[in-house]
Amino acid sequence: MIPIRDRNPSGSFPLVTVSLILVNVLVFLFELSLGTRLDSFLFQFGIVPIKVIYSADIPGSNFANTYFPFLSYMFLHGGFVHLIGNMWFLWIFGDNIEDRLGRIQFILFYFICGIGSAIVHVYFNRQSGIPCVGASGAIAGVLGAYMVTFPRARVLVVLPLFIIWQIIELPAIFVLGFWFLIQFFTGAATISSAHGGGVAWWAHIGGFVLGIILIKIFPKTRYRRL
């Protein structure tokens, strides 16, 4: 199912959410300008688990080039579909969590979820030499927070049924809970795989769970439980 929008208006302009989307788009446009240098750029600023695990044995490794990617990877994307999908979810669900936490706390929340999801990804993919890029780990934290904060908020989704695409309205706890189950079972299926495929399933799982935990810890600024 593909979310279209939610029926849960926020009480303030989502400045941080919009800013994050703009920064991600600008960084992606920069990626497009790199041409043949893109692969080395993603290898340098994306999360490469084997580089992190064996950083002490890699000549020239230092704190900056080993751990800065835990921040930079959140602003890199592997293609238009990857970027649009992530930004679409952030646009739909980010405004309410920003409204709930306040702008400064939301920035902190977003980065903690992104960094935490990368740590989970590295743990489950220690031998992978494939760069992990994308904002989906941080956004998964937003989804987890949204699910427990606004479980009854209505979300319009497109439900593909063979050749018929049905638009229906469902509670957020069902939409986002279903999303999480897909990530979990697919991630569990990749544990025995040497590379885990092209999607960072465990980053999504880690970010989602971390978002649920953090939203209960962070002080509330506005709170409307639906």
What are the pLDDT digits (tens) for 174-221?
A: 999 999 998 888 877 766 554 545 678 889 999 999 999 999 998 877
For residue range 100-146, what is the model confidence (pLDDT) as tens digits? 999 999 999 999 999 999 999 999 888 888 999 999 999 999 999 99
Q: Who has greater pLDDT, 76 or 62?
A: 76
Angle at the Cα of 25 from the Cα atoms of 170 and 171, rounded to 5 degrees: 5
Which tokens in the block code for residue 12? 């303030």
Ordered strands of the 2-6 beta sheet:
2-6, 154-161, 164-171
Residue whose entry in the numeric block shows the structure tokens 């800065």: 68
**Overall average pLDDT of the 40-66 stretch:** 82
pLDDT at 216: 93
pLDDT at 11: 85
Sign of CA dihedral 170, 172, 174, 177: positive
pLDDT at 220: 77
Domains of the chain (ranges; CATH) run: 13-153+173-217 (1.20.1540.10)
Q: What's the rounded Cα separation, in Å, for the pair 150 and 162?
A: 31
Q: What's the rounded Cα separation, in Å, for the pair 14 and 18?
A: 6
Q: What's the rounded Cα separation, in Å, for the pair 152 and 95?
A: 16
Q: What's the rounded Cα separation, in Å, for the pair 103 and 64?
A: 27
Angle at the Cα of 42 from the Cα atoms of 205 and 134, rounded to 5 degrees: 30
Strand partners of residue 132: 47
Q: Where are the alpha helices (DSSP H) in the chain?
A: 15-33, 38-45, 49-53, 63-67, 69-72, 80-101, 103-124, 136-149, 172-189, 201-217
pLDDT reading at 47 higher than 70: yes
**Overall average pLDDT of the 141-163 stretch:** 91
- Crossing angle of helices 103-124 and 80-101, in 10° steps, is 130
